[in-house]
């Protein structure tokens, strides 16, 4: 599933080709995503100029002069720029054609993403109750410490809760906990303030580094073939269960937390 760095990489990749462009038409081949694509999306968006492409958590906000398209990539979706009129392949569900002659094409084999329309996107039911962005000053270790008091749930699913902080998905939660030396199985309420301060710093550092390197899946946004991302070469824990720790050499272990595999070092993480 695309995580925050991949979504931010998508935003940065498509924004220069969208902002300032006017939409000529919207072609919807299959409305059956996680929620049905609005039947009047073409009427609402066509003829409008795109004024901004923003991100909130893992949602992309394509802002028109009146209204905003809220897009989510789901588990397998991607957005890329193609020549308008390029024949679609299987699973290529939506084209937003631009007067430039390009089209923003949405592909989603599992159809678990979303394309919704809102006049007030930040107050939309999907976004209104989200926590702070991790790379802002609003998010810090003190917030984690205060919200964790009395919580028996493991610290990893705690920091993956979008009401606590948005965008800390499985890959980056695993890596941040490793870097902070915190066992992902530890009860959130038992982690000390100084350790949460360290964890918040590592979350910010790792997410910023992943964004800078294009996330773990770097895509060519014009054309479209996916290619390996650079950040995956720097992973210390995620996906390395049974391999030696890069720091101490101890065999990394794997646990199941919140239905997700969690890799950790029994020596480095306490």
CATH label of the domain that carries residue 209: 1.10.8.50
What are all long-range contacts of 224-231, with beta carbons under 8 Å and residues at least 24 apart?
224/78, 224/80, 224/82, 224/105, 226/78, 229/6, 231/5
- Please name the residues in contact with 132: beta carbons below 8 A apart, sequence gap of 6 or more: 138, 139, 143, 165, 166
Cβ(222)–Cβ(83) under 8 Å? no
Catalytic residue among 2, 134, 157, 184: 2
pLDDT at 115: 97
Catalytic, 2? Answer yes
Number of structural domains found in the chain: 2
Does 218 have pLDDT greater than 80? no
Does 221 have pLDDT greater than 60? no
Q: Are residues 188 and 109 in the same domain?
A: no
CA–CA dist 175, 173 (Å, integer): 5
Label residue 26 by pLDDT band (50, 70, 90). Answer: very high
pLDDT in tens, 144-200: 999 999 999 999 999 999 999 999 999 999 999 999 999 999 999 999 999 999 999
pLDDT in tens, 90-104: 999 999 999 999 999
Q: Are residues 165 and 251 in the same domain?
A: yes
Does 227 have pLDDT greater than 50? no
Is 131 within the bounds of a domain?
no
Q: Are residues 117 and 176 in the same domain?
A: no
Torsion, Cα of 165, 105, 51, 210 (10° steps): 40
pLDDT at 224: 45
Closest CA to 2 of 107, 82, 123: 107
Q: Are residues 23 and 74 in the same domain?
A: yes
Catalytic, 56? Answer no
Catalytic, 58? Answer yes
Is 23 within the bounds of a domain?
yes
Does 1 have pLDDT greater than 80? no
Q: Are residues 118 and 145 in the same domain?
A: no
Q: Are residues 118 and 150 in the same domain?
A: no
pLDDT mean across residues, the chain: 92
Catalytic residue among 56, 58, 105, 156: 58
Label residue 233 by pLDDT band (50, 70, 90). Answer: low
Catalytic, 146? Answer no
Which residues are documented as binding site for DNA? 91, 110, 151
Q: Mean pLDDT check: name the lowest of 115-129, 134-148, 217-231.
A: 217-231
Q: Are residues 156 and 118 in the same domain?
A: no
Catalytic residue among 3, 8, 92, 97: 3
Which domain range does residue 257 map to? 141-264
Does 225 have pLDDT greater than 80? no
Q: Are residues 185 and 253 in the same domain?
A: yes
Catalytic residue among 44, 204, 246, 260: 260
Does 229 have pLDDT greater than 90? no
* Residues pairing with 60 in the sheet: 55, 71
pLDDT at 217: 56
């Amino acid at each position: 599933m695309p995580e925050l760095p991949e979504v931010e990489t998508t935003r940065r990749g498509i924004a220069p080709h969208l902002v300032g462009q006017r939409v000529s038409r919207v072609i919807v081949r299959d409305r059956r995503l996680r929620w049905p694509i609005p039947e009047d999306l073409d009427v609402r968006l066509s003829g409008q100029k795109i004024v901004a492409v923003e991100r909130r958590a893992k949602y992309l906000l394509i802002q028109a002069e009146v209204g905003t398209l809220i897009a989510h990539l789901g588990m397998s979706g991607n957005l890329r720029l193609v020549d308008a009129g390029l024949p679609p392949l299987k699973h290529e569900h939506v084209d937003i054609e631009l007067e430039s002659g390009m089209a923003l094409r949405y592909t989603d084999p599992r159809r678990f993403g979303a394309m919704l329309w809102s006049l007030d996107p930040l107050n939309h039911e999907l976004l209104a109750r989200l926590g702070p962005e991790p790379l802002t000053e609003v998010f810090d270790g003190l917030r984690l410490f205060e919200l964790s008091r009395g919580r028996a749930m493991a610290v990893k699913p705690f920091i993956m809760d979008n009401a606590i902080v948005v965008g800390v998905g499985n890959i980056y939660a695993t890596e941040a906990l490793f870097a902070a030396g915190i066992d992902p199985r530890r009860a959130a309420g038992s982690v000390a303030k100084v350790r949460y301060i360290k964890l918040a710093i590592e979350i910010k550092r790792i997410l910023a580094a992943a964004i800078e390197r294009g996330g773990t899946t770097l895509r060519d946004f014009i054309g479209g073939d996916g290619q390996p991302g650079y950040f995956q070469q720097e992973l210390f824990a995620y996906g390395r269960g049974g391999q030696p720790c890069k720091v101490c050499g101890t065999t990394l272990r794997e646990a199941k937390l919140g239905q997700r595999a969690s890799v950790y070092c029994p020596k480095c993480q306490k």
